Amino acid sequence: MLYIVPTPIGNMGDMTLRAIEVLKSVDLILAEDTRTSGRLLKHYEISTPMIAHHQHNEHHIVEKLAERILNGETMALITDAGTPAISDPGFLLVRECIRRDVEVETLPGATAFVPALVNSGLPVNRFCFEGFIPPKKGRQTYLRSIADEERTMVFYESPNRLLKTLKDFMEVLGEDRECSVSRELSKLHEENARGTLKEVHDYFSQKTIKGEIVIVVSGKSDKQREKIQ
């Protein structure tokens, strides 16, 4: 079978006991970056063999991996941080295994957008996860497509593009739209900045931005819809 195993997004203590047991028991671990995962495996004294499975090779190897599992091997898929297939490699392998009737089991565990969403203080009864927005081609078309979204929206972003993205959001959604930016979640210097898009943009304009970023933006409110009408 294939196990999908979440790994910590920062704090090593967020590895579950079951995840450790699974990684020790499987025949092979598929890792996004074997160097990064090697440190995790060493920390938990996991000696299971490991090979690379990332966005540059997954199209070419998923069929062979599924075939190996069908022939009796048990594998675990991990990424550098968080749950595989959430803005990370994994979807293609899961789909191929399901297509071939290979059993797939996904363990619960760390993923960055959930704590960022809850920390934001914005409505969580309805939300949409948008992942990384297009950096260049199709960016403006995408931004216009979310202008009328009523649910809370969750995005991933790199630190070097945070200010540009917040500025683009201001232009499309309005400066007064509520948002929250979470940085370095679960780590020693975790930070959650909340306010309007303009306030949060101005705050980070005065800082050196490092670490993984999650942006949470409120959906269009009734008052905003009334203004447009």
Query: How is residue 138 written in tokens?
Result: 């199709």
What integer pLDDT is reported at residue 215 of this predicted model?
A: 98
pLDDT digits (tens, 9 = 90+) for 53-87: 998 888 899 999 999 999 999 999 999 999 999 99
Where in the chain is CATH 3.40.1010.10? Answer: 2-106
Residue 142: name the closest of 150, 155, 129, 133 by CA: 133
Where in the chain is CATH 3.30.950.10? Answer: 113-228
Fold of 2-106: Cobalt-precorrin-4 Transmethylase; domain 1 (3.40.1010)
What integer pLDDT is reported at residue 223 of this predicted model?
A: 60
172: part of which helix (H) or strand (E)? helix 162-173
How much is the average pLDDT of 150-168?
A: 97
Look at residue 154 and give its three-state secondary structure.
strand
**Angstrom distance (rounded) from CA 51 to CA 73:** 14
CATH class of 113-228: alpha beta
The answer to whether residue 226 scores a pLDDT higher than 70 is no
Cα dihedral 59, 130, 80, 206 sign: positive
Residue 174: name the closest of 138, 208, 157, 149 by CA: 149
What integer pLDDT is reported at residue 51 of this predicted model?
A: 96
pLDDT digits (tens, 9 = 90+) for 13-37: 999 999 999 999 999 999 999 999 9
